[in-house]
Amino acid sequence: MNVISRGVRNAFRNSIRSVSIITILGLSLGLCLAMLLAHQAVGKKIESVKSSVGNTISISPAGARGFEGGGNPLTDSQLAKVSKLAHVTAISKSLSDRLTSDDTNLKSAVDAGSLGQRFANRSGQSFQFRGHNFGGGFGGSTNTDGGTATVSFTPPVTVLGTTTPTQLDTTQGGGSFTLTSGKVFASNSSDTVAIVGKSIASKNSLKVGSTFTAYDKTITVVGIFDSGNGFSNNQVIMPLKTVQTLSDQAGDITSATATVDSVTNVSSVTSAVKSALGSAADVTNDADRAEQTITPLKNIQTISLYSLIGAAVAGAVIILMTMIMIVRERRREIGVIKAIGASNGKVVGQFASEAVTLTLLAALVGIIIGALAGNPITHTLVTNSSNSSSSQTMASAGPGGAGGGPGGSGFTRNFSHNVGSHFSNISATVGWDIILYGIGAALLIALIASAIAAFFIAKVRPAEVLRAE
C-alpha cells in the first residue's frame, strides 16, 4: 500500500476522534471564513462610501449663503475651470431667485407666521410713512395704528434653476427628491418648463400640463415632486439656462457642488478649487462626515481581522496538537515501519496525508458553516457598531439634542440616517475566490502541522522503541 493511501486510511482509524477533530477544526475554519467574508464585505463598503459620502465640495459666492449675505455671483466660465480639475467627476450648478406677486401669478403655500413677519419688518422692501423709511416685504402691505407701521408679509416663491433637479441635498432647501407625477427635465435643458413641489402645486391647483406665469413668460409644469420638507415643497425648480435667461442673470451661479472621485482626494481638490477661484468664492467640503461614516466600518474591519487571525491560530493549534498526539500514540508503529526499511520521508508523507485528509474534510465543513454564518455574523457586527455610532452621535449632540438648535437633532438625525443607510446594505457573498482561500489556508495549516510532526518522527529510533516494547 503506498504512502498516500495508507495516510488517508489512517485518518479514519479512530472514527470518534476523527469526527471530533473534523467538527472542531471545521468550526474554527468556518469562523475564519465568516470573518474573511465580513472583512471583505466591509472593505468593499468602505470603498463605496469613499466614492459617495463626503466626496463633495460646496462652492458659493464669497460672502453669500443662499439669500443671505452679499457679494457677486459666480459665473459659468469660473466653474468651467473647476470641472477641468483632476479628480473632479461632476459639477452641479444652480441659481436661486425669488418671485413676488409682481413677477408671478403663483401663491406661496407657506404662511408667513411670526418668523416671516419678523423678516419682513427687518429686511424687506423699503417704503415711506410720514416722512420716515421703513422696511417692507415681498408682496407686503402697510398697516398703521397710531403712527406705528407694520407689514403684512406674503412669503415669496423660491425659484431654483439647476442642472441637477433631483439632488435637493446639494441645493437650497434640501430634502429627498421623489417624483410623484410627470417627468424631470434634462440637465442641459433651456425650455420654459418647471417641476414644482407638491405644496405649491396644491395651493395653486397645478398638475402636470398646467401653466403659470413667471418673469412675464408662460411656464409649463412637467412634473410634481415631494421633498419631505415644507420649504422645498414650496419651491419651483427650472432648468438653469432658463432661469439665467428669464431673470437677466446670464451665466450667473449662486451655488455649485463639485463631486470628487474619492474622499481621499477631497482635501487636495478643495485646495485646487480655492486656487482656481481665489477670493471670489467660499469653498468648503464635507470630508469630516465621510470620516465619521467610515470610522465604524473600519472598526468592524479591525474586529473581523483580529477574529480571523484568532480563528486561524486556533485551527493551526488544533491540527498541530492532533498530529503530535497521533505521532506519540504511534511511536511503536513508526519504529516498526522504520525497522523494515521505510525512510523518514515516507513516514512523514504518510502522516502528512493523514493531516491533509482530516483538514480537507474539516475545510468542507468550515465552508458550509462559513457560508451559512457569514451574513448573520456580518449583520451582528454591523448592528452593534451602528448602534454604538448612533449612541455616540446622540451623546455628542449635547443637551440640545432633542431640538433643532445648536447641537440639535437636525444634524443628528441626518447623520444617523446616512450611517444607517450605508450599514443596512452590507452583505457577505461567498465566491470561488473565498472558497479557494479557505482550502488554501487549510492545506497550509495541515502542511505546517505535518512539518512539525516530522521533527518528532525523525527522532524515533526503531531499536529504542522495540526494546522498550
pLDDT tier for residue 397 given thresholds of 50, 70 and 90: very low
Last residue of a domain, one of 268, 285, 302: 285
Mean of the per-residue pLDDT values of the chain: 76
Bridge partners (DSSP) listed for residue 220: 193, 211
Q: Say what the pLDDT of residue 27 is.
A: 87
Q: Do 334 and 406 belong to one domain?
A: yes
Residue 107, SS3? coil
What does the alpha-carbon distance between residue 453 and residue 116 come to, in Å, rounded to a whole number?
84
Domain total of the chain: 3
Q: Do 124 and 173 belong to one domain?
A: no
Q: Do 124 and 198 belong to one domain?
A: no
What does the alpha-carbon distance between residue 33 and residue 214 come to, in Å, rounded to a whole number?
63
More confident residue, 220 or 401: 220
Q: Do 64 and 187 belong to one domain?
A: yes
What is the per-residue pLDDT across 433-457, written as a single tens digit (0 to 9) for each?
777 877 777 777 777 777 776 666 6
More confident residue, 413 or 108: 108
Least confident of 234-243, 248-257, 283-292: 283-292
pLDDT tier for residue 467 given thresholds of 50, 70 and 90: low
pLDDT tier for residue 181 given thresholds of 50, 70 and 90: very high
Q: Do 91 and 37 belong to one domain?
A: no
Residue 155 per-residue DSSP state = P
Q: Do 350 and 281 belong to one domain?
A: no
Q: Do 300 and 226 belong to one domain?
A: no
Q: Do 89 and 125 belong to one domain?
A: no
Q: Is the pLDDT of residue 419 over 50?
A: no
Bridge partners (DSSP) listed for residue 277: none
Q: Do 381 and 265 belong to one domain?
A: no
pLDDT tier for residue 403 given thresholds of 50, 70 and 90: very low
What does the alpha-carbon distance between residue 267 and residue 14 come to, in Å, rounded to a whole number?
64
Q: Do 201 and 269 belong to one domain?
A: yes
Last residue of a domain, one of 285, 310, 329: 285
451 by Cβ neighbours in 10 Å (0-12 / 13-18 / 19+) ranks as middle
Domain of 163, in residue numbers? 58-110+155-285
What is the per-residue pLDDT across 328-370, written as a single tens digit (0 to 9) for each?
777 777 777 777 777 777 777 777 788 888 888 888 888 888 8
pLDDT tier for residue 138 given thresholds of 50, 70 and 90: very low
Residue 135, SS3? strand
Q: Do 95 and 243 belong to one domain?
A: yes
Q: Do 212 and 347 belong to one domain?
A: no
Last residue of a domain, one of 250, 268, 285: 285
Q: Say what the pLDDT of residue 185 is.
A: 95
pTM for the complete prediction? Answer: 0.55
Q: What percentage of residues in the chain have a pLDDT greater than 70?
A: 71
